């Protein structure tokens, strides 16, 4: 397990993604054609043509999952340190949220370059990050033509060469690769507060495109980061973080 890892060397992480455009109709013609092919694959309708309305509906519901058709609107991170006065662990939660994805990714990568650029000393931890968050970030950074910090230089590497990527879902599998176990389910099973008490992933696109509420998305994303840190502590069989040990950092706060 992860008993030997110092939680102070771990950057907890979660991302929120949405479709790259507000609607299917806003795509250029080549991307419309390519999404139509993708929609048929997603819905397993290769031999059964879908109407444009159906293709558009699938775009609204599912495009954000795919880095080729979606974009990142929020990356939330959490850092756990021991308070010098109280001697208690405290987690600082912060979000990089922006409609300008390139700026968001640049700001996040600067954090990695400046504070987490040694893969032998630091870790990134998230739930299902090996299958979703990290590949998505890397693909979007390439699309935005941004340089990769050491932590994200994973192309072609074997799993044992990226041990600094701690996936709390993989840690739960214990060698069983048959199913996905959600963070919400593990919160219920291991008895710590559920990360989902406001919106859920299926609503993020609506909150972004219709409500234009990045603050709400950021706070929702930070709850996932907090839940991942709590799960990490459960894996280490250590006490959970209490309310007075949790700090949400806003704007340019340090």
**Domain CATH for 135:** 3.30.420.10
Q: Could you read off the pLDDT of 19-48 as tens digits, one per residue? A: 999 999 999 999 999 999 999 999 988 778
> What is the extent of the structural domain holding 186?
7-20+69-249
Does pTM top 0.85 for this prediction?
Answer: yes
Q: Answer whether residue 204 is part of any domain.
A: yes
Q: Answer whether residue 1 is part of any domain.
A: no
Residue with the two structure tokens 């950021």: 218
The pLDDT value recorded for residue 250 is 79
Q: How many residues does the chain have?
A: 254
Q: Answer whether residue 63 is part of any domain.
A: no
Q: Answer whether residue 237 is part of any domain.
A: yes
Q: Could you read off the pLDDT of 235-253 as tens digits, one per residue? A: 999 999 999 999 999 765 5
Question: What does the alpha-carbon distance between residue 207 and residue 99 come to, in Å, rounded to a whole number?
Answer: 13
Number of folded domains that form the chain:
1
Q: Answer whether residue 56 is part of any domain.
A: no
Question: What does the alpha-carbon distance between residue 79 and residue 94 come to, in Å, rounded to a whole number?
Answer: 9
**What's the half-sphere exposure (Cβ side, CA atoms, 13 Å) at 125?**
28
The set of residues, in sequence order, having a beta carbon less than 8 Å from that of 35 and lying 6+ positions away, is: 24, 27, 55, 59, 63, 69
Question: What does the alpha-carbon distance between residue 213 and residue 228 come to, in Å, rounded to a whole number?
Answer: 23
């Amino acid at each position: 397990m992860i008993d030997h890892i110092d939680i102070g060397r771990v950057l907890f992480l979660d991302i929120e993604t949405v479709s790259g455009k507000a609607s299917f109709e806003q795509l250029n013609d080549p991307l419309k054609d390519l999404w139509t092919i993708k929609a048929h694959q997603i819905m397993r309708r290769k031999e059964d043509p879908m109407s444009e309305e159906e293709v558009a509906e699938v775009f609204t519901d599912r495009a954000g999952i795919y880095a080729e058709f979606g974009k990142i609107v929020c990356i939330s991170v959490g850092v756990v340190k021991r308070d010098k006065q109280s001697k208690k662990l405290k987690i600082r939660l912060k979000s990089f949220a922006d409609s300008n994805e390139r700026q968001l990714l640049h700001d996040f990568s600067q954090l990695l370059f400046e504070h987490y650029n040694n893969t032998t000393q630091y870790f990134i931890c998230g739930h299902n990050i090996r299958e979703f968050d990290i590949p998505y970030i890397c693909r979007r950074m390439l699309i935005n033509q941004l340089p990769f910090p050491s932590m994200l230089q994973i192309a072609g590497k074997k799993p044992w060469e990226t041990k600094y990527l701690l996936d709390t879902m993989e840690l739960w599998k214990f060698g069983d690769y048959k199913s996905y176990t959600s963070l919400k389910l593990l919160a219920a099973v291991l008895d710590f507060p559920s990360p989902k008490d406001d919106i859920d992933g299926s609503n993020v696109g609506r909150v972004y495109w219709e409500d234009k509420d990045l603050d709400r998305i950021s706070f929702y994303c930070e709850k996932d980061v907090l839940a991942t840190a709590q799960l990490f502590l459960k894996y280490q069989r250590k006490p959970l973080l209490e309310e007075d040990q949790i700090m949400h950092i806003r704007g340019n706060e340090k």
